Structure 1
Amino acid sequence: MKRFLLLLLAIGVLAACKSKKKSGSGDEPMTFEDFQALFTPGTLPYRLTPDTLQLKQPDSLRLDTAAMRFLTDTLTKGDFGKNEPVKYFPLQRIPGSVVNYMTVKAAGRSQSVGYLCFLDKKGKYLNRIRVANTGSADGTVTSLVIDSKNVVKISSETKLSGSRSALREDFYMVNPDGSVTLIMTNSNGPTNAGQIFNPIDTLPRKHKFSGDYTAGDMSIVSIRDGEDTKSFQFFITFSKDNGNCKGELSGRGHYIGGNRGEYKDKESSCGIAFQFTGNRVNIREIGGCGAYRGIKCFFEGGFVKKAEKKKKK
């Protein structure tokens, strides 16, 4: 009877060992399938915020050296102190159209940082970018959004004086080799006097409403051709009240009538209405766009179209 009970106990222990999920430690060599199983499966769109990074995770989920060999040993280079201990935790794995994504959390004493790793379809590590954090030395916090079209948006918010903050949004396209290409930048931060950087300046302007509309030296509504005749790209920046109130926004709008256009932000209530008349465009907010401007001014007013410079033959 005792032998029978010991046999059952041995079988139970063996089964438990086989069913236990590998966490990156142990005598058996870890395979990529084992490593991949440590990450929670996800789908696009995907978001990683500072709040997610602040959630505490048990050490039993920590990635050890055996697991990190599938990524890179320079994952956190430049983000933590030389002798600061850092723990790595798996977050999510997401299939993409060009590459696959894995997000990793690095937790140190000073901050927690999120990294977006790019792997090819066979699981080979290609590259990583820093996409989220809980707060750097200057008070900047960063978050990530990957939309359903695999466009990567990294948002950085920096606290200014009083209750004001500056928001910068960088949009990237991911290439098959794991490199990224900057597509567009939105920013409501301070600009240099007398200078306007127009991120869509070089895009085509064949549509009759495409062009640059200005109101003073530091305010512009730039319209460029969209993917089809019913859409358009736009960039708006303005400076009012001697530079005390500024705003900046860019995105993709749609024509909704003969001479009207509209933009609605998918992630907030912000919306802009465009009214084209002759060589003018009037804009007005149709939603709260406070994240992209000062609190005492709005995206509104009339802008006159600039004459396009003729190309030299």
Structure 2
Amino acid sequence: MKRIFLVLLTIGLFAACKSKKPAGRGSGEPLTFEDFQALFTPGALPYKLNSDSLMLKVPDSLALDTSGLKFLTDTLSKGDFAKGERVKYYPLHKVKGSQVDYFTVKASSRNKSVGYLCFLDKKGKYLNRISAATTGNSDGSVTSVNIDTKNVVKITNETKLSGGKTALKEDFYMVNPDGTTTLIMTNSNGPTNAGQIFNPIDTLPRKHKFSGDYMSGDLSIISIRDGSDPKTFLFFISFSKDNGNCKGELSGKGTYIAGNRGEFKDKESSCGLMFQFSSGRVTMKEIGGCGAYRGIKCFFEGSYVKKAEKKKKKA
């Protein structure tokens, strides 16, 4: 009798162990951050996630529970799927970065898949996420993401055109320690109209004597705006040379160092710029390797003329 009891107990324990699911896989057990990390495949920089990767079939047994999403907030896929649409989430990769760590999560419905790039601080706290890759957008384009060894995040939108042509738009971002992102450059092979430059700092204050917009032709601008104190300034640079075959774009925070000079040093790379201000003009010179923000055959350099401000009409 004792022997039969031991046999039954052994069978029961074996069945229980066999049916037990890991935390985060439908077990209903609380998921620690260590458990959460263990669900992701380790990756390394440079890292890429594209539509082809999202199309690969992932077993449903690898889907995350709701408990697995508490580290990412319940708004992970908000706005990307229709209300009431059934969405499953799959852990993809974890990659260590310089300022933050990266986790990629795949969200899939019957109609499409979206890849999210999530930012976590070094202590494992969720900071932010961006939609970084898709199998298809409403405009017919697909999106992919690349993170290079300098932690620059590139989001690429690709649209198939008639005649076998493809339109590409590439946005380059810097990820800040708090999980926010800063657009540092945009590349596009689409048509550009003269005089049309999107200036992200256009509406900021320009009370300092050197603040304003400096132009070189219709497609090159150095925009200077007031900083948080008299010793600093904000800038946005966009230039197009050689009939649009060489472009560059960069924004950041500079420092006035002496008299009529200003300087910028990029914290993420060796890129540096020197600004020399004079009456109605600014001359720019590259003092470090800024290849991540421009074409390989052109530089951040040249003389730009200050654009006259439109006088406000008296009320």
Q: Hey, what does 2:240 align to over in structure 1?
A: 237
Q: Deviations over 1:235-275 (max 9, x none)?
A: 663696xxxxx656438999xxxxxxxx9x99xxxx85469
Superposed displacement of residue 10, structure 1: 5.4
The AA in structure 1 aligned to 2:47 is: Y
Q: For 2:53 and 2:17, how far apart are their aligned partners in 1?
A: 34
Q: For 1:92 and 1:59, how far apart are their aligned partners in 2?
A: 17
Which runs of 5 or more structure 2 residues have no equivalent in the other structure? 201-213, 223-236, 251-269, 272-288, 309-315
Q: Hey, what does 1:102 align to over in structure 2?
A: 103
Q: For 1:178 and 1:72, how far apart are their aligned partners in 2?
A: 14
Q: For 2:107 and 2:14, how far apart are their aligned partners in 1?
A: 36
Q: Contact 2:154–2:170 (CA<8 Å) still a contact in 1?
A: yes
How well do the aligned residues superpose, as a CA RMSD in angstroms? 4.4
Superposed displacement of residue 181, structure 1: 1.2
Q: Contact 1:150–1:173 (CA<8 Å) still a contact in 2?
A: yes
Number of aligned residue pairs: 253
Superposed displacement of residue 14, structure 1: 6.3
CA pair 310-86 structure 1, distance change in 2 beyond 3 A:
closer
Superposed displacement of residue 150, structure 1: 1.5
Q: Hey, what does 1:81 align to over in structure 2?
A: 82
CA pair 175-236 structure 1, distance change in 2 beyond 3 A:
closer
Q: For 2:105 and 2:57, how far apart are their aligned partners in 1?
A: 14
What does residue range 1-313 of structure 1 map to in structure 2 within 5 Å?
Answer: 5-6=7-8, 9=11, 12=14, 21-196=22-197, 237=240, 247=245, 249-250=247-248, 272-273=296-297, 308=305
CA pair 165-239 structure 1, distance change in 2 beyond 3 A:
farther
Q: Contact 2:239–2:249 (CA<8 Å) still a contact in 1?
A: no
Q: For 1:94 and 1:272, how far apart are their aligned partners in 2?
A: 28
Q: For 2:298 and 2:97, how far apart are their aligned partners in 1?
A: 35
Which runs of 5 or more structure 1 residues have no equivalent in the other structure? 200-210, 223-233, 241-245, 255-262, 276-280, 282-304
The AA in structure 2 aligned to 1:157 is: E
Most deviating of 127-136 and 190-199: 190-199
Q: Given the two structures, how large is their TM-score scaled by the length of structure 1?
A: 0.64
Q: Deviations over 1:106-135 (max 9, x none)?
A: 112332111111112222211111111011
Q: For 1:151 and 1:6, how far apart are their aligned partners in 2?
A: 59
Q: For 1:112 and 1:75, how far apart are their aligned partners in 2?
A: 13
Q: Deviations over 1:198-228 (max 9, x none)?
A: 89xxxxxxxxxxx9876xx56x699xxxxxx
